Amino acid sequence: MITGWDQFSYSSFIFDKSGRKIDEICYSNQTKHLPGRSLSINNQGDAAGVVAYAATTDGVGVLGAKGFAFFWDHSRQALLSLDNLCGNQMYYSFATKVNDLKQVVGVSETVDQRIGSERQIWHACLWEKGQVSDLGVLEPGEDSIAYSINNEGVVIGMSGDLFKTTGAPEASGQPFNWSSDIGMQNLNNLIDPSMGWQILDIKDINNQGEVVGFARKENKTFIELIQPIGSPKH
């Protein structure tokens, strides 16, 4: 199944492998139809993404800057808004990935404010069984974002000063993986240092624990399939 969105109708859709539309995902409050983007789908047809509070020329505005995370329950045909870490709709969040166990990850504003700035600090978060959990950060950074979660509950993402000037994360920081038993770890610390690799950015993880992203070696950058221990494969 495939999910995506239409910037003109402000709705998201789910299609089967034949291209037939099987779900249309939209969110309406008491006064208007709100734009949204479905960013992930699992094997059951559940989806996750972001609903924006206001439409702009691209249909949703700056991703995650003025919206809230949602979960689409395919079996119930219901769109559920997900709580942010502050428990207050004045703060924003967006979801990036849903696994087959209906666990959703993404990012949320926190109640903390960056020193000397009006911009809030954002943290990676996990939505599970109606609860939202803060996954924390890697020091000395202030922000984090979760990009993916596999069916083992392992989360990957980036941590650092990611949201300095915009509502979307900047391409900087340290890669992490997170699990409920160990917590957040710097993924570069799990690579054999004698191999000379530095992981720059990561985007997804499969159920075997392999991570795809960008890594550098000898001043050259590669798209890599990264294993937790040992050398990345390219």
pLDDT digits (tens, 9 = 90+) for 197-217: 888 889 999 998 999 988 888
Residue 176 has pLDDT above 60, yes or no: yes
What would the mean pLDDT of 50-70 be, rounded to a whole number? Answer: 60
Quick count: other Cβ atoms within 10 Å of Cβ 106? 30
What is the spatial distance between Cα 39 and Cα 97, in angstroms, rounded to a whole number? 7
Half-sphere exposure for 96 (CA within 13 Å, toward CB): 25
pTM of the full predicted structure? 0.83
If you average pLDDT over each of 27-41, 61-75, 160-174, 179-193, which comes out highest? 179-193
Domain-by-domain residue ranges, the chain? 2-187
The dihedral built from the CA positions of residue 164, 168, 169 and 171, taken in this order, carries a sign that is: negative
Residues 177-196: what's their mean pLDDT?
Answer: 90
Average pLDDT over residues 155-163: 89
19: left (phi over 0), alpha (psi -120 to 50) or beta: left
Q: Which residues pair with 184 in a beta bridge?
A: 178
Residue 124 β-bridge partners: 107, 136
Q: E strands, 82-233, where? A: 93-98, 104-113, 120-128, 131-136, 143-149, 155-160, 174-179, 183-186, 198-205, 211-217, 220-226
Element holding 52 (H helix, E strand): strand 47-52
The answer, yes or no, to whether residue 169 has pLDDT greater than 70, is no
Q: Ramachandran region of residue 156, left (φ > 0), alpha (ψ -120 to 50) or beta?
A: beta
Higher pLDDT, 57 or 131: 131
28: pLDDT confidence band, cut at 50, 70 and 90? Answer: low
